[in-house]
Structures are given as C-alpha cells and as structure tokens.
Amino acid sequence: MSNQRRLEKSAALAERAELVIPGGVNSSLRTLDPPLAFVRAEGAYVWDADGNKYVDYNGAFGPIILGHGDPRVAELAFAAVQDMDLMGAGVVELEVRLAEKLRELIPSAQKVLFANSGSEATYHAIRVSRAWTGRRKLVKFQGCYHGWHDYTSANVISAVEKLGVTDPTSAGVLPQSLEELIVLRFNDVEQLEKTMMREGQEIAAVILEPIIHTIGCVIPSQEFMVALRRTCTEHGAMLIFDEVVTGFRHDLGGYQAICGVTPDLTTMGKAIANGYPVAALCGRADVMDRFNTRLEGDVAFGGTFNGHPLVMAASLATVELLEADGRAIHRRLYAMGERMRRGLDEITERLGIPARPTSFGSVFVNYFTERPVHNFDDALTNDAELYVGLHRGLIERGFFMIPLNLKRNHLSASHSDDDLDRTLEAAEDVLVDLAARRTRPGGVASAP
C-alpha cells in the first residue's frame, strides 16, 4: 500500500459521524487523521471502508490476544446467548465457572466479581479499599491510567511543567477527589518508602499498572514490587494491581504470577475475553465480602449487564484456548514480541537513530530516546515526532499502529512471522524516510 491509498468512504462516514457523535468517535484517542472507518476484522488483519487492508497492531488497545473474530470464542459466546440472553436475577453457571477459573489462575483471587469495563473494576477496588481501611488517601503513579472516573483522573500523560503537581485529565472532576490523591514516581523505592512512612496511616490504597503500558512499556524493578507489598502491609493499606492490560496478556495469572508479588485486589479486563466487553475485580475474600452482593455487605456493587452470558462464555473460551498445549500461545506471543524488539533494535542501530525498542511479552514499543525508560520522566525524553511519524508511515504502508505518542503495540496469536518480517521491512523504509527529512531544516519538526 502506498501514500495514494483511497480513503473516500472512510472520510464520508467520518463526516456523517461528526454530525451526531461529538468528534465522530465514541472514546477519546480514537480520532484518526486522516479519518479511517473500519468495516472488517479477521485474525491479524483489519480492512477500512475503502477496502485497504492493514496488519493490526493496536488490537483495540489490548483486548485482541487470539486474533480478531476468533471462531471458537464467537461460537461459544453466541451459543450462550441462544440459551439465554440476560436474566439479571440470581446467577448463571457461566459466571460461577469463570469465577472458579480466575480463582484457580490468579494468585490474589480468592473471590471474584464481574463488571463491564476496566474503569468500573478500578472504581470498585478503590471504593472497597476506602471502606475497608476507613481512610481516604490514594497513591497512584505518574503515567498510570486507571479509567475515566474521578478517583484517579490525574497525572496520566502530563506535560513536563505538570510533573510534581496535580494534573487533572478532565474538566469537571470533583476537586476533593484529587485532593486525596498522592502521585509518586514509578520505580522510586525511596520516595515510596518515605511517603508511606509519613502518610501511611492515612492511605487507603496504592494502585498501579504493574507494567505501565499507558505510556508504552515501563517495566518495574523487582525491588519496587517487593517494596510496594512490604510498605502496604506495614501500614495497613490495600495494594491494588490494575492488570487491565497485563492480565491474561502476559500470563493467565497476570503480572503477579510472573513477579511473585501478590496484591490485595486485582482488576482485569481487555484481553480476558478477546474483544468482548467484560472486566473482573478479584482479591482477598475478607475484603471482597464487604460488597453488598452479600446481604451483610456495605459497599455498593451493581450493574445491569454484569456477568452477561455472552461475555462470560467469550472469556471462558479465551481461557480455554490460552491454556491449550501447555500455554503454547503465550510462548509464541513472547517469541514474537522479542522478535519485534530485536528487529527494531537492529534497524535503528543500523540507521544510527537513538532508540530504545522495549517489549514485554506481546507488547512492544519503539521509544526514540537514549535513556532506558524506567518511569514517566524517562518517557518524556522520547522524541514524539519520530514516534508518531513511524506509526503514521506504517499506517500508510498497511500496518496499523495507533498514531499517538507513547501508545503501545499488541501482538496476537494470529500474527504470522511473515507479517512481522514485512512490518520490520516497512519500518526500516519509514525510518530512512524520517531520518532524511529530519536532517533538512523544516523537515519532520514542522511536519504534522
């Protein structure tokens, strides 16, 4: 595919959309320039309305782990709703089976509740932590995202002048909710320890993405993970792992199964049902028993669509496939992620472009910086123009990577070695182009 790809039908649909949907999209970060409307997705590929085909590396921001439209997932999901669409009273067996499965797989999961989105899961995790501890304060880390609600709507992708101060991600957030938020630097054990020493008695919970995938791929040190567990235990604060991206994607037991540090509460979403809308909150039985799904519980938990048979069955099918052949899919996902990281490393090295290709399992990014990225400050040194320029150039050549700074790529079991080889070839082509334009005054720096 070349720069000449036709996009008339996408443009026409985007125009119609803008008249009735603010901005023409249903979630922030979905806006594409030029606009693209997708009409079909299968395996590793997606097609836009004008018939252009792309290898998809966005994977809907993470859910697609098996590949788009996995037939086994679709078969079980649709069979489930043929038996029963939604009763919304009592429990169905699929809910019990999936909760049992998660308890078996996730170290922290003694009990499980289902919701529809990651935001709901993190919201409930924080609320029950406040109820359990009788405290208000919440610790989060600069660069982590935990959903759209007021509890954590600050300090995600902040401008450099906003580091160290409260930086709301939205207008209309209740200021009092952000007053209870303490924002710390990821991987900074000393700052964590000092904060817990000083304010630990007032802190209800510490919440984090165990790998910060919101700003690409920021891997925690083991020392940091151990310090999180130790300080939370010492000061009676809940430790919440937000595994909405990492859960199932890096391991069926989440990142906690990899690092051996068990939080009190865990949130899961995205990849647990390969594209069907479901999330889970799991954790210590005593804490989970505070929810008013038990008659004696005093922490509200509700949702008309919670535990919907369609998504319960989709998730059970996803687990079944990921467990098959001694978890062969995960081995392949890890090998592919490594291949992309190495490939990008070789290319940027050969071209003399300062870069830090980074991956964990099936997630990879190509930071353009000399610095290894251990926290948000390091991520800020990434050259955003090159980062977005690479993604844009790849889209023009038929490889869809979301054209946003610091946003990550996801591999699925459907990507082939040939897909990866072609992607790396195209990436080299784009980078040669970007490097050439960069050396000319008024080149990349002034380009959109």
Q: Which residues are catalytic?
A: 145, 242, 270
Cα-based distances in Å from 192 to 4, 154, 184, 189, 195: 52, 18, 7, 5, 5
- Minimum Å gap between C-beta 122 and ligand PMP is 5
Q: What one-character-per-residue DSSP string does 7-44 give?
A: -HHHHHHHHHHHHHSGGG-SSTT---SS---EEEEEBT
3-class DSSP assignment, residue 432: helix
Q: In what order do the strands lie in the sheet with 399-400?
A: 38-42, 45-48, 53-56, 399-400
- Minimum Å gap between C-beta 421 and ligand PMP is 29
Cα-based distances in Å from 44 to 40, 54, 57, 375, 414: 11, 8, 8, 31, 5
Nearer to ligand PMP (CB atom), residue 98 or residue 268? 268
Q: Which residue bears the tokens 């809940």?
A: 238
Cβ atoms within 10 Å, residue 292: 12
What is the rounded distance in angstroms from the CA atom of residue 381 to the CA atom of residue 144?
Answer: 17
Nearer to ligand PMP (CB atom), residue 121 or residue 204? 121
Nearer to ligand PMP (CB atom), residue 224 or residue 255? 255
Exposure on the CB side of residue 439, measured as CA atoms within 13 A: 7
Q: Which stretch binds ligand PMP (CB under 6 A): 144-152, 199-207, 329-337, 339-347?
A: 144-152
- Minimum Å gap between C-beta 436 and ligand PMP is 35
- Minimum Å gap between C-beta 407 and ligand PMP is 10
Query: For ligand PMP, what does the binding mask look like between residues 94 and 133, x meaning CB under 6 A?
Result: -----------------------xxx--x-----------
Asked if residue 169 binds ligand PMP (CB under 6 A), the reply is no
Q: Which stretch binds ligand PMP (CB under 6 A): 237-245, 295-303, 327-335, 354-362?
A: 237-245
Query: For ligand PMP, what does the binding mask look like between residues 36 and 75, x meaning CB under 6 A?
Result: -------------------------x--------------
Question: Phi/psi of residue 219, each to 5°?
Answer: -90, 135
Footprint of ligand PMP on residues 242-301 (CB under 6 A)? 242, 244-245, 269
Q: Which stretch binds ligand PMP (CB under 6 A): 48-56, 238-246, 357-365, 432-440?
A: 238-246
Exposure on the CB side of residue 163, measured as CA atoms within 13 A: 13
- Minimum Å gap between C-beta 147 and ligand PMP is 4
Cα-based distances in Å from 299 to 38, 96, 220, 253: 41, 21, 32, 26
Nearer to ligand PMP (CB atom), residue 247 or residue 357? 247
Footprint of ligand PMP on residues 195-214 (CB under 6 A)? 209, 214
For ligand PMP, the binding residues (CB under 6 A) are: 61, 117-119, 122, 145-147, 209, 214, 242, 244-245, 269
